[in-house]
């Protein structure tokens, strides 16, 4: 059986145990500095960032930006209104193929690369953040951490079935290194950071 | 094992017939190297990070059997079906059987260098199945019926006009289109249709976590996720060396991977697959295909640390001027040249020699593989195992005889500068490759030795 | 007084005696006791880099026999020095070989690190392009490497800065390989030539009158290209510039 053959060959050929290194020291950075860094990184990779003083300011901005879109879904119930319908679960992921805008709440953002962490329970359904034409992410300022080391410290041993870091709209530069936003996933990413 | 029809020197000679194109290829990749530099320089602790990554990989390799067992146990508990494949053929058969079981004849596949290494597409197509590559670059080379020329940038050798022609022929784009925006949009429409209609999706794996049984797939396009989350069956294929011990180690590797590859701070998507979604079947194939043998070669073991970022290709002055296809192997460039001889010394005997040993690859490697030192060491192995051509062997023996005896050296030197005949830049005096495009050094009236004798002693 | 053994690589001996002479004269000017052991031939690198390290035993033994007695072994070639440092082993006298490996120096590192030369009396009123030879740079750390996130330094530049009238030009790619690579230059003729042409061009478009460096083999390669292109630009070993005026 290949499994046993492979494991036996490894046990024979792998070297003496090499210890793991000490972890990288965790950075402590001022929150305002984190916000500025996050915004700069996000804009650098094609996202739009809105800094708002309170959560209530987000709804009108979304409506203004996406009023022309046909199918909008929000997985954040506080943002649901006549213009922004709530996400409704359908076990067939294909049923979301015509979603124009999908809205998610992230509780972890990383300043060094503007990645936002989403787990399946925050997505409604796994395919949604990818299949939607435009993605909107809402993240509290207090959820922004300096770097990936701190991010994984925060994730810790959390249980999730599926989780992903998303940094910007989907993109490709496969044709002569010309950067094109909107490869297979969202064409744009709008981020709201609220205090 | 079969010998290649053409070697790296022959294939790069062909590539170099169009100098303008070589310039374009070189500049494009150099630009990516510069983006990598800028990105690396934005992290003051970059060199420490590389060292940590290298050490984590050392640990992972030194306990790979243990980590694989732990990974398998966790993955199974998470509901993932785990398979083990000793070689490429077994890997291909496993994938085929999974598809057969579900009566699936069409597969959408995101980037996986492992499946390139195993020639999965050819295998499945021979069985009458259809495979569509969903990474834009991979789709382009697939339409062109070529292998990828770069592990991260599969169609970096193609000009937009050529891509336009392909899309005109296969996707119905208007003739003469070369705007990357329009071409990308055409591919988006074409592949969205593919994603929505395929029952099975295959992805690669960037990292697999022994501690949790989850695996991570990184893309910019979102194609791995589109495929996997829409399909009834998700098959992920990985080389056994992709295991890292703990989830928190992703912090180190995800900081390095995209910055090294393209200069991006992180890929757009870093997706952590832990359990299949409700109603979905998730398979994971663990592949050896020579890796356990490489593990036993102390000098070359560190090559298994590779995280497939492609930085060594972008920085390699030879790769930039010879193109990925000149390496006639699924993985090209410096890392390909140290991985390939493990599988077939005869077929890939030329690859470790396709380098000036300048060492730039080693310096950009995010996991600090001593690539250029391994190229040097493979040269010794290849020669000792008898794969050096006999002509080269002869000239080397003559040179060694001359250089190891001062008497012969002086006489030969006087008798018309033996070096002209036997030193490496003029090994072949019948058809001197130095002289084709370069002048020979002028022969001075006296050697340094003669000057010294006259003027000092 | 410490004794210096002058190691002149085979191709420098045969083709570029002036680089050897300049090295000898420079070291003498700096007041050193310099000897050129006449039994020397080659370090064995051409063979080893071609995969024939196992054939270099006699070569290595000869090297040890010639140089073991000196306090320092100095050579105007980074590549040959690196080879000796990394690969010189002998069956008969490994202890001596080990000692040789630690006391062999490339000229620039010897001048900067050991002699700590701060005030060279040299004059060379020309625009000069500095080629960072890979083995000297990445192997012997003569200059910080552009791939690393680390503070910049350059030992050859430190010396060239002491030369009166010399203007160092900037290059678009500060430390790209010239494509010589030993047997690479004939085995991989097409790529080697293209690399050489590109490297030379960087110097030419930035106005170099001379291209210099600490490794004659790279300079020989670029000279071959320059001459074929009928260029007036010349190559000079760094010793020749440091010894000029």
Neighbours of B453 (CB within 10 A): 13
B278 C-beta neighbours (distance < 10 Å), count: 9
Q: Has residue A17 been placed in a domain?
A: no
Decide: B53 and B367 in contact? Cβ < 8 Å. Answer: yes
C25 at B interface, C-beta within 8 A:
no
Query: CA-CA distance, B390 to B398, in Å (whole number)?
Result: 13
For B251, counting Cβ atoms within 10 Å of its Cβ (0-12 exposed, 13-18 middle, 19+ buried), the class is buried
Question: What is the DSSP code string of B268-325?
Answer: SEEEEE-SPPTT-EEEEEEE-TTHHHHHH-TTTGGGGG-----HHHHH-HHHHTT-GG
Instruction: Spell out which residues of chain B touch residue C8, defining contact as CB-CB under 8 Å.
Output: 448-449
Q: How far is B410 from chain A (nearest CA, A)?
A: 49
Facing residues of B357 across strands?
Answer: none
List, for residues C43-90, the tens digit of each pLDDT value: 888 788 888 888 888 889 999 999 999 999 999 999 999 999 999 999
| Nearest CA distance, B221 vs chain C (angstrom) | 28
Q: Using CB atoms and an 8 Å cut-off, which of residues 141-160 of chain C contact chain B?
A: 145-150
Distance CA C157, CA C163 (A): 10
DSSP code of A173?
Answer: -
Interface test with C, best of B37, B47, B334, B403 (most C CBs within 10 A): B403
Judged by CB atoms closer than 8 Å, whether chains meet at B48 and A151 is answered as no
Instruction: Please tell me what DSSP assigns to residue B254.
Output: H
Dihedral of CA atoms C181, C184, C186, C192 in degrees, nearest 10, equals -70
Q: Which domain holds residue A40?
A: 29-87+94-194
Separation in Å, CA of A4 to nearest CA in chain B:
9
C38–chain B Cβ distance below 8 A for any pair? yes
Q: Which residues of B touch A167 (CB under 8 A)?
A: 265-269
Q: Are B308 and B261 in contact (CB under 8 A)?
A: no
Rounded CA-CA distance B306/B321 in Å is 23
CA-wise closest residue to B82 among B276, B226, B225, B272: B276
In contact, A15 and A124? CB cutoff 8 Å? no
Q: How many CA within 13 A on the CB side of residue B230?
A: 29
Euclidean distance between CA atoms C226 and C28, whole angstroms: 32
Relative orientation angle of helices C57-67 and B390-403, to the nearest 10 degrees? 20
Question: Exposed, middle or buried: residue C183 (CB in 10 Å: 0-12, 13-18, 19+)?
Answer: buried
Q: Cβ separation of B383 and C51 shorter than 8 Å?
A: yes
| B29 at A interface, C-beta within 8 A | no
B-chain residue closest to A160, CA distance: B274
**What Cα–Cα distance (Å) separates residue B357 from each residue in B93, B353, C147, C183?**
39, 9, 15, 11
Distance from C-alpha of C225 to C-alpha of C218, rounded to nearest angstrom: 11
**Greater model confidence, C20 or A29:** C20
Q: What percent of chain A has pLDDT over 70?
A: 100
> Domain total for chain A?
1
Angle between helices B250-261 and B46-62 (to 10 degrees): 120
Q: How many Å lie between the alpha carbon of C202 and the closest alpha carbon of chain B?
A: 13
In a domain, A8, yes or no: no
The pair of structure tokens assigned to B200 is 């099975």
Instruction: Give span(s): CATH 3.40.50.11810, chain C.
Output: 122-242
Q: How far is CA B397 from CA B431, B434, C55, C183, in A?
A: 19, 20, 8, 14
Could you write out the DSSP letters of every residue in A55-81? GGGHHHHHHHHHTT-S-EEES-GGG--
Q: A103 by DSSP, 3-state: which? A: strand
CA-based nearest residue in chain C for residue B43 = C149
Q: How far apart are CA A52 and CA A102, in angstroms?
A: 19
pLDDT for position C45 = 83
Structure tokens at B455: 């003027």
Rounded Cα–Cα distance for residues C87 and C82 (Å): 8
Q: Are B380 and C54 in contact (CB under 8 A)?
A: yes
Cβ-Cβ contacts under 8 Å for C2 (sequence gap 6 or more): C32, C33, C71, C72
Residues present in chain C in total: 245
What are the tens digits of pLDDT across the range C210-232? 999 999 999 999 999 999 999 99
Q: What is the CATH number of domain C122-242?
A: 3.40.50.11810
> How far is residue B393's CA from residue C210's CA, in Å, rounded to a whole number?
37
Q: How far apart are CA A84 and CA C113, in angstroms?
A: 70
Alpha carbon of A45 to those of A180, A194, B167, B278: distances in Å? 11, 20, 27, 33
> Starting at the edge strand that comes first in sequence, how are the strands of the sheet with C127-131 ordered?
C167-168, C127-131, C210-213, C234-237
Neighbouring chains of A at 3+ CB pairs under 8 Å are: B
The CA distances from residue A50 to A4, B99, B326, in Å, are 55, 46, 48
| Residue C245 to residues B241, C28, C242, Cα–Cα distance (Å) | 59, 15, 9
* Other CB atoms within 10 Å distance of the CB of residue C225: 23
Torsion of CA B59, B64, B65, B68, to 10 degrees: 120
Domains of chain B: 43-289 (3.40.50.10420), 398-455 (no CATH)
Hey, which residues does B85 pair with through a beta bridge?
Answer: B287
* Surface-to-core class of residue A1, CB atoms within 10 Å of its CB (0-12 exposed, 13-18 middle, 19+ buried): exposed
Chain Cα centroid distance, residue A137: 7
C145 chain-B contacts, CB cut-off 8 A: 360, 363
Cβ-contact A185, B268 below 8 angstroms: yes
| CA B115 centroid distance within chain | 13
Here the tokens at position B44 are: 């003051």
Neighbours of chain B (3+ CB pairs under 8 A): A, C
Report the 3 state secondary structure along A38-50: HHHHHHHCCCEEE
Spell out, as residue ranges, where chain B has pLDDT lower than 50: 1-4, 413-421, 424-430
pLDDT of res. C47: 80
Distance CA A191, CA C194 (A): 48
pLDDT score at B359: 97
Task: Compute the count of residue pairs across chains B and C with CB atoms less than 8 Å apart.
Answer: 241
Helix axes B19-41, B250-261, angle to 10 degrees: 150
Q: Assign residue A45 the CATH number of its domain.
A: 3.40.50.10420
**Which residue in B185, B226, B293 is closest to A130 by CB distance?**
B226
Interior/surface letters A156-181, b for 16+ CB within 10 angstroms, e for the rest: eeeebbbbbbbbbbbbbbbbbeeebb
* Helical spans, DSSP H, in B63-87: 64-77
Give the three-state DSSP class for A16: coil
- Pairing relationship of beta strands B81-85 and A72-74 according to DSSP bridges: unpaired
Q: In this complex, is the C-beta atom of C165 within 8 Å of any C-beta atom belonging to chain B?
A: no
Instruction: State how far the Cα of C192 lies from the Cα of C217, in Å rounded to an integer.
Output: 13
Provide Rg for chain C, Cα atoms.
17
Please report the pLDDT score of residue C183 as a whole number.
84
B169 CB near a chain A CB, below 8 Å? no
The answer to whether residue B310 neighbours chain A at the CB level (below 8 Å) is no
Whether residue A18 lies inside any domain: the answer is: no
Cβ partners under 8 Å of residue B348, min gap 6 = B4, B328, B329, B337, B340, B341
């Amino acid at each position: 059986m290949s499994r046993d053959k492979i494991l036996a060959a490894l046990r024979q050929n792998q070297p003496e145990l090499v210890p793991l290194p000490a972890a990288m020291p965790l950075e402590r950075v001022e929150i305002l500095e984190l916000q500025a860094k996050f915004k700069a990184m996000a804009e650098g990779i094609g996202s739009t960032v809105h800094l708002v003083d309170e959560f209530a300011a987000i709804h009108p901005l979304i409506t203004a930006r996406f009023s022309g879109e046909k199918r909008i879904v929000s997985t954040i119930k506080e943002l649901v209104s006549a213009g922004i319908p709530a996400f409704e679960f359908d076990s067939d992921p294909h049923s979301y193929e015509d979603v124009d805008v999908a809205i998610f709440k992230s509780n972890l953002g990383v300043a060094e690369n503007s990645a936002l962490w989403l787990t399946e329970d925050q997505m409604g359904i796994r395919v949604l953040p990818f299949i939607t034409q435009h993605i909107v992410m809402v993240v509290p300022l207090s959820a922004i951490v300096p770097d990936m080391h701190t991010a994984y410290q925060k994730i810790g041993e959390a249980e999730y079935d599926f989780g992903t870091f998303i940094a910007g709209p989907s993109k490709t530069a496969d044709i002569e290194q010309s950067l094109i936003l909107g490869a297979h996933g969202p064409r744009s990413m709008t981020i709201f950071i609220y205090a | 094992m079969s010998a290649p029809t053409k070697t790296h020197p022959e294939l790069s000679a062909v590539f170099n017939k169009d100098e303008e194109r070589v310039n374009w290829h070189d500049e494009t990749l150099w630009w990516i190297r510069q983006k990598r530099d800028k990105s690396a320089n934005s992290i003051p602790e970059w060199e420490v990070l590389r060292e940590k990554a290298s050490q984590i990989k050392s640990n992972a390799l030194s306990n790979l059997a243990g980590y694989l067992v732990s990974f398998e146990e966790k993955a199974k508990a998470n509901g993932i079906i785990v398979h083990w494949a000793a070689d490429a053929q077994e890997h291909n058969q496993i994938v085929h059987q999974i598809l057969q079981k579900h009566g699936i004849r069409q597969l959408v596949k995101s980037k996986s260098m492992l499946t390139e290494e195993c020639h999965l597409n050819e295998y499945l197509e021979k069985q009458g199945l259809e495979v569509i590559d969903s990474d834009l670059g991979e789709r382009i080379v697939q339409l062109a019926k070529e292998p990828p020329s770069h592990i991260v940038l599969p169609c970096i050798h193609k000009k937009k006009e050529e891509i336009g022609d392909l899309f005109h022929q296969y996707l119905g784009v208007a003739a003469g289109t070369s705007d990357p925006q329009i071409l990308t949009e055409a591919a988006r429409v074409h592949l969205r249709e593919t994603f929505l209609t395929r029952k099975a999706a295959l992805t690669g794996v960037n990292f697999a976590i022994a501690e949790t049984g989850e695996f991570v797939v990184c893309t910019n396009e979102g194609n791995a996720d589109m495929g996997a989350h829409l399909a009834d069956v998700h098959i992920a294929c990985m080389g056994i060396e992709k295991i890292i011990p703990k989830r928190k180690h992703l912090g180190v590797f995800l900081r390095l991977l995209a910055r090294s590859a393209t200069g991006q701070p992180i890929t757009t998507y870093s997706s952590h697959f832990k359990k299949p979604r409700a109603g979905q079947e998730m398979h994971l194939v663990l592949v050896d295909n020579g890796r356990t043998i490489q593990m036993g070669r102390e000098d070359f073991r560190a090559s298994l640390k590779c995280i497939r970022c492609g930085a060594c290709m972008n920085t390699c002055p030879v790769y930039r001027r010879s193109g990925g296809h000149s390496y006639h192997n699924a993985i090209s460039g410096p890392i390909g040249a140290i991985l390939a001889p493990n599988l077939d010394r005869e077929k890939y005997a030329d690859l470790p020699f396709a380098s000036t040993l300048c060492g730039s690859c080693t310096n950009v490697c995010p996991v600090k593989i001593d690539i250029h030192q391994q190229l040097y060491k493979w040269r010794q192995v290849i020669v000792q195992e008898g794969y050096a051509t006999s002509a080269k062997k002869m000239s080397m023996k003559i040179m060694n005889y001359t250089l190891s005896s001062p008497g012969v050296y002086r006489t030969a030197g006087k008798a018309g500068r033996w070096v002209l005949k036997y030193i490496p830049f003029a090994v072949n005096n019948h058809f001197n490759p130095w002289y084709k495009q370069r002048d020979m050094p002028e022969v001075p009236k006296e050697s340094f030795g003669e000057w010294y004798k006259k003027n000092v002693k | 007084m410490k004794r210096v053994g002058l190691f002149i690589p085979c191709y420098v001996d045969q083709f570029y005696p002036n680089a050897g002479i300049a090295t000898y004269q420079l070291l003498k000017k700096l007041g050193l006791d310099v000897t050129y052991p006449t039994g020397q031939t080659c370090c064995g690198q051409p063979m080893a880099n071609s995969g024939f390290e196992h054939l270099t035993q006699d070569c290595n033994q000869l090297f040890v026999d010639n140089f073991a007695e000196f306090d320092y072994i100095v050579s105007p070639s980074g590549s040959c020095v690196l080879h000796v440092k990394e690969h010189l082993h002998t069956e008969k006298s490994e202890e001596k070989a080990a000692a040789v490996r630690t006391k062999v120096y490339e000229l620039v590192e010897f001048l900067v690190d050991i002699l700590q030369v701060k005030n060279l009396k040299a004059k060379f009123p020309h625009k000069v392009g500095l080629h960072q030879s890979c083995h000297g740079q990445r192997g012997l750390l003569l200059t910080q490497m552009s791939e690393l996130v680390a503070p910049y330094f350059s030992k050859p530049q430190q010396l060239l800065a002491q030369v009166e009238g010399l203007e160092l030009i900037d290059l678009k790619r500060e430390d790209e390989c010239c494509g010589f690579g030993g047997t690479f230059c004939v085995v991989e003729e097409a790529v080697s030539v293209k690399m050489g042409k590109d490297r030379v061009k960087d110097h030419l478009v930035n106005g170099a009158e001379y291209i210099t460096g600490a490794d004659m083999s790279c300079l020989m390669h670029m000279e071959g290209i320059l001459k074929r292109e009928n260029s007036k630009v010349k190559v000079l070993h760094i010793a020749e510039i440091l010894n000029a005026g």
